[in-house]
Structure 1
Amino acid sequence: MANRYARSDRSPKPLGAAKLDELALAYVARFATSRAKLTRYLSRKIRESEWVDEIDAMAACEAIAGRMERLGFLDDRQYAAMRAGAMTRRGLGVRQVKAQLFVDGIAPGDSEDALSEAEDKALASAIGFARRRRFGPFAMRAADDPAMRERQVAAFARAGHSLALARRILAVAPGDEDALATLDAEAALD
């Protein structure tokens, strides 16, 4: 009977361009990704393995990423729009969206449309954030404590919203249906 606690063989597995291409295809089939994220994934696989092909490993990464882009499996503009839309719907602000697109390796030219869309929906996103966190008009009772109010403003800032927008939403008292309706109407117009 085999010992189930025995260490497995952790020696680096050989990796060539053909296997790297298979890994890339499986990755783009499973995840929506950007060109930079795919390249990072492939270079990590190369570091974890033993490269056995005669061509340069990093050149193979770039060639595979370019091929995936030409085939339509990668589209940084579409990825940026999808990612920014999902983050905005979750209640995150423009600064947070911009930071995440930068981390994902999206070029500024490819993220322009997505960021402008996030800016257009900033108020709706901030209202959604306040609703989820039960801040401002969605609180059970008014936050009269200045320290509590500043913590709420800080939460808005961490989520990527502007301080002016946070203070504007937090100024609406809980139960003030008219002010909340005005905010909702403005958010719908954005």
Structure 2
Amino acid sequence: MPKHRAPPDRTKRPLGAARLDELALAYVARFATSRAKLTRYLSRKIRESEWTDEVDAVAACEAVADRMERLQFLDDRQYAVMRAGAMTRRGLGVRRVKAQLYVDGIAAADSGEAIETAEASAEASAVGFARRRRFGPFARRPADDPKLRERQIAAFLRAGHSMTLARRILAITPGDEAALAALDDDAGLD
């Protein structure tokens, strides 16, 4: 006979400034995050709970974020560099990196270095994307179908790469070792 679980308790649990600090500490210990993402997380926890402290909930949330920055658990500039590097290594382009940093709440002053790095490695990132997806010179056979080529270009654009870079990579036919070597040299790949 199956065991029946008790329904979850849907009442709002009490939450104070001390518990909010514990939640923030657990969050930054588990995830690399930005100040804005931490603040959103804490705000959600406040909405889901019953605030019991005399201090204003929003002020407590900002105070916890300030404390995490003072303790150097949060660094938006370092987070932006780490996030942009991970995205470019996955083959995503500059536009996607900029969009993600904006969503993560990184200010333009903190994201400048990360975006410059992503722009410098844009070509290598696009080549890596084509290699993983087996597009252009990495395909098993040439893409003669115009609809397939358009879908591949669309995939490049969704990944945040420029149209000219996508067309340049897709113009190389599979097996063209000289063009592939030139592309690798331009991208700075070995």
Taking structure 1 as the reference length, the TM-score comes to: 0.96
CA distance in 2, matches of 1:8, 1:39: 26
The aligned counterpart of 1:57 is: 57
1:10 to partner: Cα distance: 1.8
Matched AA of 2:18: A
The aligned counterpart of 2:122 is: 122
CA distance in 2, matches of 1:70, 1:175: 55
1:38 to partner: Cα distance: 0.2
The aligned counterpart of 1:13 is: 13
The aligned counterpart of 1:81 is: 81
**Sequence identity of aligned pairs in percent?**
76
The aligned counterpart of 1:97 is: 97
1:31 to partner: Cα distance: 0.4
* 5+ residue gaps, structure 1: none
Matched AA of 1:64: V
CA distance in 2, matches of 1:73, 1:62: 14
The aligned counterpart of 1:144 is: 144
Secondary structure at the residue paired with 2:99?
Answer: helix
Matched AA of 1:153: I
1:70 to partner: Cα distance: 1.0
CA distance in 1, matches of 2:44, 2:162: 36
The aligned counterpart of 2:107 is: 107
> Once superposed, what is the RMSD of the aligned Cα atoms?
0.9
The aligned counterpart of 1:183 is: 183
* 5+ residue gaps, structure 2: none
1:148 to partner: Cα distance: 1.0
Taking structure 2 as the reference length, the TM-score comes to: 0.96
Deviations 1:92-113 (A, max 9, x none): 0000000000000000110000
Deviations 1:78-121 (A, max 9, x none): 00000000000000000000000000000011000000000000
CA distance in 1, matches of 2:6, 2:40: 32
- Between 1:27-36 and 1:142-151, the stretch displaced more is 142-151
Deviations 1:11-44 (A, max 9, x none): 1110000000000001001100000000000000
1:5 to partner: Cα distance: 2.6
CA distance in 2, matches of 1:45, 1:153: 41
The aligned counterpart of 2:44 is: 44
Runs of 4+ that moved beyond 6 A: none
1:4 to partner: Cα distance: 2.9
CA distance in 2, matches of 1:175, 1:23: 55
Matched AA of 2:12: P
